[in-house]
């Protein structure tokens, strides 16, 4: 019969939902994990670096540090600007002035040379150059102090109690008390062993600069309660600090004044009993460079 010779064709569908989707998602996930790891590493580095190190990194990537033009005003575009610097000043010279300000001694030499040639600069320019030089010296001194403290295992844990600040009066270095870690014995002018090492480290750094030094002692909290805001105690502590700074290399002719402030100038006025109000304040005074006398015929 014809039905016995019929041909049956069976079609089988392949694929469906059981196929492989590929590994592109793995690459995307690996990129995400790598980015998160880099992000947390960046957060950790930001948390561990000091403000001076952050400022140094920012200065390194600043536009003026990569402008290598030797003509024009020294800007990123390298054009000529008739301004304070004028177009005759090379760009490389402007960059060097921003990165390494002249020291007071070099500023004084420049003033002397200008006077010998008939007055090459005004007093305001000399004062500005002197301020720039001192700001650079103060920044280097502050960074060196923090680095010296962190590198000394005996006082490394005191790094948060050392506060440096560039003020109109000069570089102020403050050694503040912390709960459970004071600089002096309670009610006494006797510095603790780690305070002596800390002052010796500070003295070795500021001994390399010519500026005069003003030292002030501040009492507060328990000291003020026990001694009635003792002026004598704060002055005695400042005098002890002077002796330790001199032991660290500071010359006696550099000492401008030693004063006791008692509790009259608290670091935290809103909290008179805060331990940080008890502190030593060491001011590296801002001084104008010497101006040579003008000679005339």
H/E/C letters for each residue in the chain?
A: CHHHHCCCCCCCCCCHHHCCCCCHHHHHHHHHHHHHHHHHHHHHHHHHCCHHHHHHHHHHCCHHHCCCCCCCCCCCCCCCCCCCCCCCCCHHHHHHHHHCCCCHHHHHHHHHHHHHCCCCCCHHHHHHHHHHHHHHHHHHHHHHHHHHHHHCCCCHHHHHHEEEEEECCEEEEEEECECCECCECCCCCCECHHHHHHHHHHHHHHCCCCCCEEEEEECCCHHHHHHCCCHHHHHHHHHHHHHHHHHCCCCHHHEEEEEEEECCCCCCCCCCCCHHHCEEEEEEECCCCCCCCCCCC
pLDDT confidence of residue 6: 72
Greatest alpha-carbon span in the chain: 143
The contacts of residue 198 (CB under 8 Å, 6+ apart) are 149, 155, 158, 162, 175, 183
Is 195 a member of any domain? yes
| CATH number of the structural domain spanning residue 261 | 3.30.1330.60
- Domain ranges, residue 163: 131-285
Is 30 a member of any domain? no
pLDDT confidence of residue 24: 84
Is 190 a member of any domain? yes
CA 240/CA 221 separation, integer angstroms:
20
Is 93 a member of any domain? no
pLDDT confidence of residue 165: 95
Number of domains in the chain: 1
pLDDT confidence of residue 78: 45
pLDDT confidence of residue 252: 92
Q: Are 215 and 259 in contact (CB under 8 A)?
A: yes
pLDDT confidence of residue 96: 32
Is 231 a member of any domain? yes
Q: List per-block mean pLDDT (blocks of 10 residues) for the chain, which spans 297 residues.
A: 63 56 82 92 84 75 48 43 40 35 44 44 62 88 94 93 95 95 92 95 93 94 61 95 93 95 92 91 84 51
Is 268 a member of any domain? yes
The token pair at 3 is 């039905």
Is 113 a member of any domain? no
Is 24 a member of any domain? no
pLDDT confidence of residue 167: 94
């Amino acid at each position: 019969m014809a039905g016995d010779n019929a041909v049956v064709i069976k079609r089988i569908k392949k694929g469906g939902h059981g196929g492989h989707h590929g590994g592109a998602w793995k690459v995307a996930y690996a990129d995400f994990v790598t980015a998160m790891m880099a992000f947390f590493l960046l957060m950790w580095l930001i948390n561990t670096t000091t403000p001076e190190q952050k400022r140094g990194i920012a200065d390194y990537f600043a536009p003026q540090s990569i402008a290598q033009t030797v003509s024009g005003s020294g800007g990123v575009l390298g054009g000529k600007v008739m301004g304070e610097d004028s177009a005759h000043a090379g760009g490389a010279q402007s960059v060097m002035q921003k990165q390494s300000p002249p020291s007071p001694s070099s500023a004084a030499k420049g003033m002397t040379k200008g006077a010998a040639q008939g007055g090459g600069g005004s007093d305001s320019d000399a004062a500005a150059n002197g301020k720039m030089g001192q700001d650079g010296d103060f920044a280097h001194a502050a960074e060196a102090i923090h680095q010296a403290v962190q590198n000394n295992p005996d006082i490394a844990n005191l790094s948060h109690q050392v506060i440096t600040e560039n003020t109109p009066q000069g570089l102020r270095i403050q050694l503040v008390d912390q709960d459970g870690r004071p600089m002096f014995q309670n009610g006494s002018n006797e510095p603790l062993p780690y305070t002596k090492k800390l002052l010796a480290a500070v003295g070795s750094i500021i001994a390399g600069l010519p500026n005069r030094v003003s030292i002030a002692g501040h009492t507060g909290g328990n000291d003020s309660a026990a001694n009635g805001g003792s002026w004598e105690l704060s002055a005695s502590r400042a005098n002890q600090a002077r002796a330790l700074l001199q032991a660290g290399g500071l010359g006696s002719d550099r000492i401008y004044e030693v004063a006791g402030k008692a509790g009259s100038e608290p670091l935290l006025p809103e909290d008179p009993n805060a331990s940080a109000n008890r502190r030593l304040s060491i001011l590296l005074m801002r001084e104008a460079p010497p101006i040579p006398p003008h000679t005339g015929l």
